[in-house]
Amino acid sequence: MTKYRARKGQGGKALGPALLASVTLAGALRRGSMVILCTSGLSNVGLGLLDPITEGLRVFYKEVIQQALDEGVVISLITFKGEIAAVNVIGKLPDKTNGKICRVSQKAQRLNSSLF
């Protein structure tokens, strides 16, 4: 736990590769598997980069949605209120796959971080 606390984030969020790998793995398990995508901000590294939002980016997320639907994977999203997370794009993941969206307040975030 000491090593965990000592680590400092670099701000990189590679949501695209993580999401794609998670949907692929969950789809290989069984229909009805769920992926829970947790993010505190924009995907800003690599595949699925959300800044800027382009048509190619929208196509990437549409393809992930289609893969999830084909494999029976539900995608839910947890993000923080007040953070820029491009919910207008990634919010379609739970909408189209029958998942849920949870926007956590900053107060709850501070409370949870105090547990570590």
pLDDT in tens, 43-90: 555 565 555 566 667 788 899 999 999 999 999 988 877 655 567 778
Beta-sheet pairing, 34-39 with 101-104: unpaired
Would you call 90 exposed, middle or buried from its count of C-beta atoms within 10 A (0-12, 13-18, 19+)? Answer: buried
pLDDT category at 2 given cuts 50, 70, 90 is very low
Pick from 6-10, 36-40, 87-91, 107-111: least confident? 6-10
Q: Is the pLDDT of residue 97 over 70?
A: yes
Crossing angle of helices 55-71/15-29, nearest 10°? 20
| Predicted pLDDT at 103 | 83
- CA pair distance 44, 15, nearest whole angstrom: 8
| Predicted pLDDT at 28 | 94
pLDDT category at 98 given cuts 50, 70, 90 is very high
Q: Is the pLDDT of residue 104 over 60?
A: yes
Q: Quickly list H helices, 11-105.
A: 15-29, 55-71, 87-90, 92-97
CA–CA–CA angle 3, 4, 7 (5° rounding): 85
